[in-house]
Structure 1
Amino acid sequence: MLEGLGYIHTPAQNGFSFKKRILQLAHGLLCSVGYAFADKVLFLNPDDPKDLSSKSLLSKNKLHVLGPIGLDLTAYPYRPVDLEKPIRFIFIARLLAEKGIFEYLDAARLVKAIHPNAEFVVLGGLDPDNPAALSKHQLDEVIAENIIIYPGHVSNVSDWIADSHVFVLPSFYREGVPRSTQEAMAIGRAVITTDVPGCRETVVDGKNGFIVPPFDANALADKMIYLIEHPQEIERMGNASHGMAVERYDVHKINPILAEILLEK
């Protein structure tokens, strides 16, 4: 099972570097050899088998798209939004460029210039060894500017989601199907995410949230401002997210599908 194609299949804003193209070819060769001995190869979204097949020799009858692995929905129960509180957006991911942290911070600045009472939460750890990571200095700066709320390490992520109004994942990383988005949807939160593999599987644009282009802080800010100015849409989209999570992400519905794929001959 491949839960996303990962770093070497994630383009930067100006496309793939020469190094990544070479790594893709090496990865494709290894997959061609390794998966020749596999009975089945499972993916979580439909883009991954197409893109991997373009770099490797994969037997199509071995490829299966499972969709999301799913959640125990009882661990993420629905909780209604409180529209009496300032509108709060939440980002949950490692603080890496690929996860969209810089677009999130830029969008937060744009929004707070118009709606200073809007709140922006960031949950995620620094990765000082990663050159594409948000630095400690940059984090301290945005905290000092009162751009974000950063509580550090927390063990009650679901409570932080419930205390927010909109979940935001502006990632351009090759996700499988992001688990954090599934959790937010189960709790009943509108979602803003990007039009990239994996992320776009979680949102029906205009129904349970919005899909924006990757690398575009202005488009992200526009959707945030729209939701601040139309709070009833936050509630409507959040309820739609919850309904989609119940239908698509219940692990008790997904496990039998997985078992059927594994057992079929």
Structure 2
Amino acid sequence: MPNTIALIAHHAGSLLNFRGDWIRSLRADGMRVLCLAPDYTDADRAAVRHLGAEPFDYSLQRTGMNPLRDLRDAWALARLLRRLQPDISFAFSTKPVIYGTLAAWLARVPRRLAMIEGVGFVFTDAGRPLSLGRRVLRRAVALLYRLALSRAHRVIFLNPDDRGDFVARGLAPAARSVVLGGIGVDLDAWAPVPVVQDPVTFLLVARLLREKGIIEYVAAARAVRSRYPATRFLLLGGLDTNPGGLGHADVQAWVDEGVLEWPGHADVRPWMAQASVFVLPSWREGVPRSTQEAMAMGRPVITTDAPGCRETVVDGVNGRCVPVRDTGALVRAMIGFIQEPESIATMGAASRQLAQERFDVHRINARLTAWVLGRDTDFNSEP
């Protein structure tokens, strides 16, 4: 009998956008793949089936904390897993990692894995003292992580800072924690396109959250355009219900002011083709997929010297690293590309080279599958 793996996600789109290549790889290895998500549409189900996997619905409140609702959902998920009887569970994103791993333990799934793709809103430094409510929430989430991750056979992190923080806090067992180094991109699908130098165009792709550095990006755009009014600034991404989410009125005001263009949530490739430089002034990441895509397409990167972000830039080689929440440094990095447009092509080529070395999805998926199946015994190795 082939191994059966249950992928537990917080929404169907993440299965298709971020796990699609891996699902194909797992199916090519002869595994049965069950895809669990709380918000399937008919189109999502058809897309999952097209990958050769099987879609299943389960109940999950993606944001917020309602202990009774979360416990009820976790118990219902355990019952579903008991019925499906997978050999392996693989949960990713905060709530699936916590409640999905606990549900898999209750359902006696033989092998349980959890992927921490970023520490999330609760553990991200907001640059100001924590409110009482956030301190209480952080302690509650830490307790739940500790409870769930102690029942995981492997805990996978995308960067060493997150692994170090979780191990130091006692949230994840060091001996069972590993670093993947990014989920990777299909380098053929994200092929390089000619660089744009006139006008110099900056692009940020992210969910519209304050933690992604959106406010700093807008402030920098305003400052740069006051000196170089022909410069374009693009912002791609949809509104989000997380506590750090920006409102539609905020973003529309920037559009009306003429600071930036906002196509909303849209296909990234055609907009990346219009961009000169990719920008992600995030406060903290796992290892951002959007930056990996930009690098694969041959775009230099401006990002922050923050966990997860710094893994994508060799400063002065394929882009620039700036301090977190430092709008002045962000402006200076942008102006550097405007004043030296020839660096866009040279640094873009270096980005593509780094993407080939670090973020080839096929090599990363092979490593991930080895961990899932327990074939790799060097569990403390770095990528």
* TM superposition score category, shorter chain reference: over 0.9
1:159 is matched with which residue? 270
Write the mapping of 1:148-187 to structure 2, written as runs, cut at 5 A: 148-155=260-267, 157-172=268-283, 174-187=284-297
Amino acid paired to 1:137: A
For 1:237 and 1:16, the matched residues in 2 are separated by 39
1:45 to 138, 145, 159: 159
Match of 1:136 among 248, 266, 276: 248
Within the candidate set 134, 139, 147, 1:33 is matched to: 147
Distance (Å, rounded) in 2 between the aligned partners of 1:244 and 1:14: 35
In 1, the alpha carbon distance for the partners of 2:171 and 2:264 equals: 44
Measured after TM superposition, the shift of residue 57 of structure 1 is 4.9
* Residues in 2 aligned to 1:108 and 1:24: alpha-carbon distance in whole angstroms: 33
Q: Tell me, in whole angstroms, the C-alpha distance in 1 between the residues paired with 2:166 and 2:130.
A: 15
Amino acid across the alignment from 2:212: K
SS at match of 1:98: helix
The CA distance in 1 between the partners of 2:309 and 2:348, in whole Å, is: 17
**1:29-80, CA deviations, whole angstroms, 9 ceiling, x for partnerless residues?**
2232222222111100001111112322533210101111111112111112
Give the 3-state SS of the residue equivalent to 2:264 in structure 1. coil
Which one-letter code corresponds to 1:233 in the other structure?
A: S
Corresponding position of 1:80: 194
- Alignment-derived partner of residue 116 in structure 1: 229
Q: State the shift of 1:199 in Å.
A: 1.0
1: CA distance between counterparts of 2:296 and 2:352? 5
Indicate the SS of the match to 2:188: helix
Determine helix, strand or coil for the equivalent of 1:37.
coil
Q: Is the 8 A contact 1:89 1:165 kept in 2?
A: yes
Is the 2:121–2:244 Cα contact (8 Å) retained in structure 1? no
Q: Distance in 1 between matches of 2:152 and 2:225?
A: 51
Partner residue, 1:96: 209
Which secondary structure state, in structure 2, belongs to the residue aligned with residue 193 of structure 1?
strand
1:161-218 C-alpha deviation (Å, 9 max, x unpaired): 011100001111x421100000000000010111111111111111111111111111
Question: Higher mean Cα deviation, 34-43 or 162-171?
Answer: 34-43
Query: Where in structure 2 are there 5+ consecutive unaligned residues?
Result: 1-114, 378-383
Map Cα deviations across residues 78-131 of structure 1 (whole Å, 9 max, x no partner): 112032x2000001112221111110000001000111111001111224x555
| Matched AA of 2:148 | G
Larger proportion of strand: 2
Matched, 1:63 2:177: yes
User: After the TM superposition, which segments of 4 or more aligned residues of structure 1 sit over 6 Å from their partners?
Assistant: none
Q: Between 35-44 and 240-249, report the one with greater CA deviation.
A: 35-44
Partners in 2 of 1:55 and 1:24 — Cα distance?
12
**Cα shift at 1:235:** 1.0
Q: Distance in 2 between matches of 1:259 and 1:131?
A: 34
The 1:110/1:59 distance shift into structure 2, 3 A limit, reads same
SS at match of 1:102: helix
Match of 2:218 in 1: 105
SS at match of 2:199: coil
- 1:18 CA drift (Å): 3.6
Aligned residues: 261
2:301 paired residue among 182, 186, 191? 191
What aligned pairs does 1:13-28 form with structure 2 within 5 A after superposition? 13-28=127-142
Report the counterpart of residue 212 of structure 1 in structure 2: 322
- CA-CA distance at 1:258 after TM superposition: 1.8
- 3-state DSSP class of the match of 2:310? helix
Shift of 1:16: 3.7
Q: Note if contact 2:155-2:172 (Cα within 8 Å) is conserved in structure 1.
A: no
Which amino acid letter does the alignment assign opposite residue 55 of structure 1?
R
Larger Rg: 2
Q: Which has the higher contact order (CA 8 A, sep 6+)?
A: 1
Asked if the contact 1:29/1:56 (under 8 Å) is kept, the reply is no
- Which one-letter code corresponds to 1:154 in the other structure? A
Residues 1:132 and 1:6: Cα distance change in structure 2 (over 3 Å): closer
